[in-house]
Structure 1
Amino acid sequence: MAISRRAFGIGLLAASAAGTGGYVYLRQHPEIAGRFGEPKRLFGFAGGEKEGFLANARVRSVLERRFGLILDARRAGSVEMVRERTLLDQKPQFLWPSSSVLVDVARSSGVKISRDQVIFNSPIVLYSWDRIADGLVKAGFAEPAGGPRYTVDLLKVLKAIIAGESWEAIGVSGLFGRARVVSTDPNKSNSGFMFAGLTASLLSGDVIALDSLGKIDGDVATVFRRMGYKPPSSGKLFDDYIAGGAGAQPMIVGYENQLIEWVLQDADRWKRVEANAPSKPVILYPKPTAFSAHPLISVDRSADELIDALISESLLELAWEEHGFRGPLGTIGKARNSLLQSRLIERIDAVLPIPDAPVMLALLDRLSTA
């Protein structure tokens, strides 16, 4: 039977509408799209602090089975992944640094961004040891916050470091040399990058502006010069801290989730540490601190759906329950694990914004010779 042109045209229009509607529906429900066809493989770089999350078998299973995604996520420092041509020339489809400022730095490096979205939040903290923290409390640099948690007057600590004070002078006996806090290399890794911005703003009395950077950049450089060797990634620095103990690594800069993740990975190991170790790891929350947002940058449109997958409730809960990452609003998840809940401060109100990208890039240039 012949089909009229009008009927044929209506059929094409209906098929087009159905196809468009189907695309929109699947775009809005990637967990359904992921069930059909071969999994999509995506290559990119992620900060070392997210290595445990990305290697988690449950996370990888959810990504593949529900969303049809398999990730080849290679570790790189957050700063270098958005600036270094040797990395960008590998044509990553996504980048996952640890600061929203680095989205602007990526753009200034010529990265064409399809989409970006903050997935996690994690405040910058200091890691130390119970006996060192107790000494800081007695000397008026810190206050206990219940359990293995403390708050610390970061500006007061920084001024003591700049003045060249010894550990003994700030209340800590038995440690050699001048007081110091060690971060990652700010030109490679975000935790060092953010600590540099936080230090600059604290020393200036407000969020540092470009025209006032010259007044304090020498003091910031002194803080970083006193550190000695600065590892290239947050994961490496935390591993050195755990392995070295109180003598080798008295105080370092890291993300809140790192100790939480280490404790949760092996509860029996933590019980042995609590029972037998001469010094126990503790978190010092700086007042004020800075929140490190972890934005997923989709460089290729094919990676857009990775953002939708990562902000799904199932993966955000896994990120909290097994790795200690706060959600997009800085919120914590359900209190299902006492090891986790007893180590975090639920609300962090004393937060200082990080300076904007031009200021941070100028500061990095100054610190490259520190």
Structure 2
Amino acid sequence: MAVRKLLAPVLGLALLAAVGAGAWYSHARLKGESAASAAAQQVQAQQVTLRGLIGSEKEAFFADPRVQQALAAQGLHVTVETAGSRAIAAGFDASRYDFGFPSGAPAAQQLKAKAKAAAVFNPFYTPIVFASWRPIAEILLANGIATKHGDYYELTDLPALMKLVENGTRWQDLKASEAFATRKSVLVSSTDVRTSNSAAMYLALASYLANRQQIVQSQEDVDRVMPMVAPLFLRQGFQEQSSAGPFEDYLALGMGKAPLLVAYESQLVAFWLKNPNQRQRDMVLIYPRPTVFSKHVLVPYTAAGARLGTALENDPALRALAHEYGFRTGGDSHGPEGWAKRGVNVPEVLVDVIDPPSFEWLERMIVGIDARFK
């Protein structure tokens, strides 16, 4: 009987504690569900659909379901159309698009002025390279024009290569050219300079050399370099309007089609990352010295466009996905460190880099070349 008297208060207290704990748990759960619902409603309210005009080399990035998912987590649903960088700069239309995303700083400079954008975003960048083949690189090496650095080459005497192009030298006339003893003239293939950024960056590089290794910045400079740079494009024959087509031909048709192709580093890096079994092929990257960076600059036309630019610059998941497509970025990891772990070795830092001319002077050279095409 005494035991019962002692147990009764204890059991009562335990019952009260259980009821209290249940009530607290129920309240906490309801509060948590309410907070989650409010957060979901807030995200839903912040969801925006936006549309942009981009360079073709970023089309696969935006089409990637992982990128779309990462953007959705930021409340962004993005649809894109592609065009050449010069066309993007010329075709500013804030009634149709929320942003323009060309592949070069000069086009972005013009676009920023047209859009009267307060700020632009630079989420990723890539250097201009020559996509080539090991036999071609070895011929350049034997002729003292290139040097080898592990898996890649550097074109250390770019003026000498430009001289071969200017003189119409044929591959068979070069020393140790047995692997490519053709009557084809030494020529660097590019896209159409009138529409495409990669060709415009090649023009920036060639004009720098033709202008006594100075950036073109006056009409006098333009007049000086035009007789030397215009033939680099006029002698190529048909040129495609964007960088995707020539790179597909490079992969499919081999070195006979284009022994040296102006390309973005990102194109070949992305291909190797996606197709590791293809690394044993003779495809190589040749880095011209100097080279020029192609900056992918997002110019917002609307607040939604600015949200996208902020997300691309700052979200670690989106930066990591940009690396998957061969782009270099800011942040803690810039790209090359991770690529090396997967067997794709490129220079971590490029020091011999020039800036392209401003939009005005680059445009004057392009217009001058266009006039010679007609």
Say whether 1:176 aligns with 2:176. no
Q: What SS class does the counterpart of residue 236 from structure 1 fall into?
A: helix
Q: For each residue in 1:158-216, what CA deviation from the matched residue of structure 2 results, as whole angstroms up to 9, or x when unmatched? A: 12101111112344432332111111111111101111111101111211122221011
Say whether 1:95 aligns with 2:113. no
Of 162-171 and 43-52, the range deviating more from structure 2 = 162-171
Taking a change above 3 Å as real, the CA distance of residues 117 and 107 of structure 1, as seen in their structure-2 partners, is: closer
Taking a change above 3 Å as real, the CA distance of residues 253 and 314 of structure 1, as seen in their structure-2 partners, is: same
Q: What SS class does the counterpart of residue 241 from structure 2 fall into?
A: coil
Q: Shift of the alpha carbon at 1:267?
A: 2.2
Structure 2 residue runs of 5 or longer lacking an equivalent are: 1-38
Say whether 1:348 aligns with 2:353. no
Say whether 1:55 aligns with 2:63. yes
Tell whether the 8 Å contact from 1:34 to 1:67 is kept in structure 2 after alignment: no
Q: Shift of the alpha carbon at 1:111?
A: 3.4
Q: Shift of the alpha carbon at 1:217?
A: 0.6
Q: How does 1:1-370 map to 2 (within 5 A)?
A: 35-37=43-45, 39-64=47-72, 66-84=73-91, 88=93, 91-107=96-112, 110-171=114-175, 172=177, 173-205=180-212, 206-210=214-218, 211-268=220-277, 270=278, 274=280, 280-311=282-313, 312-320=315-323, 322-328=324-330, 332-333=334-335, 335-338=337-340, 340=342, 342-368=344-370, 369-370=372-373
Q: Over the residues paired in the alignment, what is the CA RMSD in angstroms?
A: 2.4
Q: What SS class does the counterpart of residue 360 from structure 1 fall into?
A: helix
Q: Shift of the alpha carbon at 1:329?
A: 8.1
Tell whether the 8 Å contact from 2:158 to 2:288 is kept in structure 1 after alignment: yes
Tell whether the 8 Å contact from 2:124 to 2:296 is kept in structure 1 after alignment: yes
Tell whether the 8 Å contact from 1:133 to 1:150 is kept in structure 2 after alignment: no
Of 70-79 and 149-158, the range deviating more from structure 2 = 149-158
Q: Which has the larger radius of gyration?
A: 2
Q: Shift of the alpha carbon at 1:49?
A: 1.3
Q: What SS class does the counterpart of residue 364 from structure 1 fall into?
A: helix
Q: Shift of the alpha carbon at 1:38?
A: 6.7
- What letter corresponds to residue 326 of structure 1 in structure 2? R
Q: Shift of the alpha carbon at 1:232?
A: 0.6
For 2:354 and 2:172, how far apart are their aligned partners in 1? 29
Of 35-44 and 215-224, the range deviating more from structure 2 = 35-44
Q: Shift of the alpha carbon at 1:152?
A: 4.2
For 1:90 and 1:165, how far apart are their aligned partners in 2? 51
TM normalised by structure 2 equals: 0.81
Q: For each residue in 1:16-71, what CA deviation from the matched residue of structure 2 results, as whole angstroms up to 9, or x when unmatched? A: xxxxxxxxxxxxxxx9998333731111111111122112221111001x211111
Tell whether the 8 Å contact from 2:125 to 2:329 is kept in structure 1 after alignment: yes
For 2:65 and 2:99, how far apart are their aligned partners in 1? 20
For 1:358 and 1:330, how far apart are their aligned partners in 2? 35
For 1:120 and 1:106, how far apart are their aligned partners in 2? 18
For 1:354 and 1:323, how far apart are their aligned partners in 2? 24
Q: What SS class does the counterpart of residue 345 from structure 1 fall into?
A: coil
Taking a change above 3 Å as real, the CA distance of residues 314 and 196 of structure 1, as seen in their structure-2 partners, is: same
TM normalised by structure 1 equals: 0.82
